[in-house]
Chains A and B, each alone.
Chain A
Amino acid sequence: MKFVDEFRNPEQSLALLHRIKATVTRPWVLMEVCGGQTHGLLRYGIDVELSGVVELIHGPGCPVCVTDMAAIDHALDLAHRPHVLLASFGDMLRVPGSRGSLLTARANGANVLMVYSPLDAVRYAESHPSEHVVFFAVGFETTAPATALAVLQAQRLGLDNFSVLASHVRVLPAMEALIQAPQNRVQGFLAAGHVCCITGYSDYEEFVRRFRVPVVVTGFETIDLLQGILDCVMQLESGSAEVHNSYSRSVDRNGNMHARDVIAKVYEIDTRVWRGLGPVDSGGYSIRRELQQFDAMHRFNLKAVAQNEINPDIALQARCRAGEVLTGRLKPCDCAEFRKACTPETPLGAPMVSSEGACAAYEKFHPRATL
């Protein structure tokens, strides 16, 4: 298949693996920021092939995993209200909040709809005027423009029964938080290719100057990943720290100007609580005040819940070490609950649920002892 097979070519992949091994004179610690990259690495066993050469720390780039539990609780609350329909992406529906997931809420009578696109939620609102449709919007800069378009579309249609529970997050501020954390071990970043499709990579230029770490914009196929790793270790070996674009078939320096315009039109940059990281300055997008009629927080008079107000007793929070996983301090397979209390059927936290979560990647691809 075009645009897939050429980037999974076995001979080229082997050659790149050899080059990485030949380049490295000491083990390096890299972070792949995006969960899609984590899955690519584990699916093809690249982490195993490079063991002892490059340690890959799995970053927080899984939109579902970093969504704060308070946001999920707001979504659960809305889904149970009469005449409200809560729409979200399939991945989001299985993630546990402090009292179950949206899927269990649906089984208990809540009005929950899985959509493929935020515009589907707008269409549903248009054809069901007696219901109020709330789109639970999660994701990085990748999905933020689609949500923004949905808001603008609802505005154009004059819909009064559509709003967005926005939990969009911005990846660069999270990288800044990670690199400045006292226990940080990351020496180079594979930046998230799809996020950079939207944002471009000019913002990373300041980041590498400030923190002296190489950043390589990296794609998701085997060859993309290996090229990103090679570029990163070549920089580390030579002592340089620059932004390189190893995913140039999709990304340019300025990103997608149209998408960036739409983002600027609909959102303002805001502090956001990330699951695992806590509050991140400029770490999220909120709906602009001018568009607050489409902001579910405003429409339903919801209050932002501080992290410490969430019931700390619940077993789920106490036992799930998602925060350490998301910041690269704990490998999922080293968690005491992994494949024991925490499985895809009974996830203790989001990284086990999401198709991009690091724990789900280990559950999928990490060998088990025996049958």
Chain B
Amino acid sequence: MNHLSDWSLNCPIPISADSERISLAHGEGARLSRRLIAETILPRVASAEHTAFADAARVTTIGCRLAICADSHTVSPLFFSGGDLGSLSVYGTVNDLAVAGAYPRWLTLSLIIEEGLPKVILETVLDSVARAARECRVAIVAGDTKVVPRGAVDGLFINTSGVGEIMDPLPPGPGAIRVGDKVLVSGPIGRHGIAVMSARGGFTLDAESVSDSGSVFPVVSSLRDAVGEHLRAIRDATRGGVSGVLYEWAQESGHSFALNEPSLPVTDAVRGACELLGLDPLYVANEGTIVVAIDADYAQSAIEAMRRVVGCEQAAIIGEVQPAGISPVTIRRSVGPPRPLDEPTGAPLPRIC
């Protein structure tokens, strides 16, 4: 479906018909491969200690437990308001480590490139990978490149694995959630999903939604320092949105989650787009926003700790944990009794009229 001509629409860089493009030969392990890696990839992303990627990276000895995660990243279009595939692939893995209670240290970077991708797009994405890695102070220590025939992938897929050091105190997880606990979010919800949807649909709204794509490590650290002993669970609310996280927690804890709609932080841009498209921001994806369950007595301190972090000024208490009831997740809207909040099923599709 993706035609070469479409790429020029998605990339902020001007691309002409004779722009240099990635060919299958760039992935065949011979001279072109070597040059692509040595001249395009390594100078951009390799860390100071790992300037060449060996078969496996040898890293330093550390005296603590490790967290390991893997994530594959694909987004169409590759560039959207507030981010792109490159930064997304770093933040996604860093965030998985951060919410698992780890300090992100090392990443691997695997590229699966569609034949014909303009080289300048690859370079732009790699620059973004490098910027995000520097910001997160995580070293990219190993990688791999494959080029596949036209149509086999949508432009570019990136897989990153991450290794991090477990930090104490470690939140015990959703099984520890108790009735009376509070539920918090670190910022306005649904921004990433709406930003990508508008980039994909090509529709423009008066107020543009900017993706929240970013590292949640600073906000998790701030929480750990302030109220670490009292945290129950932390998750980044990616696909499935906040509702998806709460459904999982309800299942694991055996309790129900009661949300209060007027307390939800939602930007006007996201709200407007959701009203228009018939979506609920609670189901829409985030890429730099966390959901937190915490002992109610420490919820206010947690909010203050989150709001001290840049980008989390709108952190809010959005609900509380109740005994299992009419639904795993309920919501009290501006009018009427609490109603069940449905579990997200598949990607949200816009309504017809």
Q: A139 near B353 (CB under 8 angstroms)?
A: yes
CA of A222 to CA of B340, assembled, Å: 18
Task: Considering the complex, give the chain B residue whose CB is closest to the CB of A371.
Answer: B324
Interface hit among B28-36, B270-278, B296-304: B270-278
Q: A345 near B345 (CB under 8 angstroms)?
A: yes
Contact of A1 with B337 at beta-carbon distance under 8 Å, contacts A120-B202, A140-B353, A371-B250 already known: no
Contact of A356 with B342 at beta-carbon distance under 8 Å, contacts A13-B335, A49-B337 already known: no
Q: Which residues of A contact B308 (CB under 8 A)?
A: none
Interface hit among B110-118, B159-167, B326-334: B326-334
Q: B349 near A91 (CB under 8 angstroms)?
A: yes
Q: Which residues of A contact B268 (CB under 8 A)?
A: 1
Q: A371 near B254 (CB under 8 angstroms)?
A: yes
A45 proximal to B (CB < 8 A): yes
CA of A94 to CA of B336, assembled, Å: 31
Of B3, B256, B352, the residue contacting A138 (CB under 8 A) is B352
B5 proximal to A (CB < 8 A): yes
A4 proximal to B (CB < 8 A): yes
Q: B336 near A46 (CB under 8 angstroms)?
A: yes
A1-27 vs B, CB cutoff 8 Å, 1 = contact: the mask equals: 100110011100110000000000000
Q: A222 near B327 (CB under 8 angstroms)?
A: no
Q: B345 near A368 (CB under 8 angstroms)?
A: no
Q: B203 near A364 (CB under 8 angstroms)?
A: no
A143 proximal to B (CB < 8 A): yes
Q: Which residues of A contact B3 (CB under 8 A)?
A: 128
Q: B326 near A367 (CB under 8 angstroms)?
A: yes
Task: Considering the complex, give the chain A residue whose CB is closest to the CB of B1.
Answer: A113
Q: A355 near B333 (CB under 8 angstroms)?
A: no
Q: A365 near B339 (CB under 8 angstroms)?
A: yes
CA of A143 to CA of B352, assembled, Å: 8
CA of A213 to CA of B59, assembled, Å: 79
CA of A140 to CA of B351, assembled, Å: 13
Q: A89 near B350 (CB under 8 angstroms)?
A: yes
Q: Which residues of B contact A1 (CB under 8 A)?
A: 268, 271-272, 275
A92 proximal to B (CB < 8 A): yes
Closest beta carbon of chain A to B89's beta carbon, Å: 25
Q: A194 near B333 (CB under 8 angstroms)?
A: no
Q: B350 near A364 (CB under 8 angstroms)?
A: no
Of A9, A48, A127, A363, the residue contacting B342 (CB under 8 A) is A363
Contact of A142 with B353 at beta-carbon distance under 8 Å, contacts A345-B345, A366-B340 already known: yes
Q: A45 near B339 (CB under 8 angstroms)?
A: yes
CA of A303 to CA of B202, assembled, Å: 35
Task: Considering the complex, give the chain B residue whose CB is closest to the CB of A39.
Answer: B278
Q: Which residues, 5 to 40 on B, are CB-close (under 8 Å) to A?
A: 5
Contact of A368 with B350 at beta-carbon distance under 8 Å, contacts A48-B336, A113-B1 already known: no
Task: Considering the complex, give the chain B residue whose CB is closest to the CB of A347.
Answer: B345
Q: Which residues, 318 to 371 on A, are CB-close (under 8 Å) to B?
A: 344-345, 354-356, 363-371
Q: Which residues of A contact B63 (CB under 8 A)?
A: none
Of B203, B271, B337, B350, the residue contacting A91 (CB under 8 A) is B350
Task: Considering the complex, give the chain B residue whose CB is closest to the CB of A94.
Answer: B349
Q: A364 near B349 (CB under 8 angstroms)?
A: no
Task: Considering the complex, give the chain A residue whose CB is closest to the CB of B279.
Answer: A355
Q: A10 near B335 (CB under 8 angstroms)?
A: yes
Task: Considering the complex, give the chain B residue whose CB is closest to the CB of A5.
Answer: B334
Q: B353 near A116 (CB under 8 angstroms)?
A: no
Q: B351 near A371 (CB under 8 angstroms)?
A: no
Contact of A355 with B351 at beta-carbon distance under 8 Å, contacts A345-B345, A363-B342, A365-B339 already known: yes
CA of A45 to CA of B261, assembled, Å: 14
Q: Which residues of A contact B202 (CB under 8 A)?
A: 116, 120
Q: B353 near A143 (CB under 8 angstroms)?
A: yes
Of A4, A46, A116, the residue contacting B201 (CB under 8 A) is A116
A93 proximal to B (CB < 8 A): yes
Q: Which residues of A contact B337 (CB under 8 A)?
A: 45, 48-49
Q: A44 near B203 (CB under 8 angstroms)?
A: no
A32-75 vs B, CB cutoff 8 Å, 1 = contact: the mask equals: 00001000001111101100000000000001100000000000
CA of A10 to CA of B260, assembled, Å: 14
Task: Considering the complex, give the chain B residue whose CB is closest to the CB of A13.
Answer: B335
B270-298 vs A, CB cutoff 8 Å, 1 = contact: the mask equals: 01100100100000000000000000000
Of A63, A222, A344, A364, the residue contacting B352 (CB under 8 A) is A63
Q: A371 near B352 (CB under 8 angstroms)?
A: no
Of B201, B272, B327, B353, the residue contacting A367 (CB under 8 A) is B327
CA of A94 to CA of B271, assembled, Å: 25
Q: Which residues of A contact B203 (CB under 8 A)?
A: 116-117
Q: Which residues of A contact B333 (CB under 8 A)?
A: 8, 43-44
A192-228 vs B, CB cutoff 8 Å, 1 = contact: the mask equals: 0010000000000000000000000000001000000
Q: A356 near B351 (CB under 8 angstroms)?
A: yes
Contact of A8 with B352 at beta-carbon distance under 8 Å, contacts A113-B1, A368-B340, A371-B328 already known: no
Task: Considering the complex, give the chain B residue whose CB is closest to the CB of A34.
Answer: B353
Q: A371 near B350 (CB under 8 angstroms)?
A: no
CA of A5 to CA of B261, assembled, Å: 12
Q: Which residues of A contact B5 (CB under 8 A)?
A: 127
Q: Which residues of A contact B201 (CB under 8 A)?
A: 116, 120
A127-139 vs B, CB cutoff 8 Å, 1 = contact: the mask equals: 1100000000011
Q: A10 near B334 (CB under 8 angstroms)?
A: yes
B222-255 vs A, CB cutoff 8 Å, 1 = contact: the mask equals: 0000000000000000000000000000110010
Q: A90 near B271 (CB under 8 angstroms)?
A: no
Q: 8 other contacts beyond A355-B351, A365-B339, with CB at 8 A cut-off?
A: A1-B275, A36-B351, A44-B334, A49-B337, A94-B346, A113-B1, A139-B352, A222-B334
**Contact sample, A vs B, 17 pairs, CB 8 Å cutoff:** A36-B351, A43-B333, A44-B335, A44-B336, A45-B339, A91-B351, A93-B349, A116-B203, A116-B350, A117-B203, A120-B201, A138-B352, A222-B335, A366-B340, A367-B339, A368-B327, A371-B256
| Complex A-B, nearest 10 residue pairs according to Cβ-Cβ distance, in ascending order | A90-B349, A45-B336, A367-B326, A142-B353, A44-B336, A364-B342, A13-B335, A344-B345, A355-B351, A371-B324
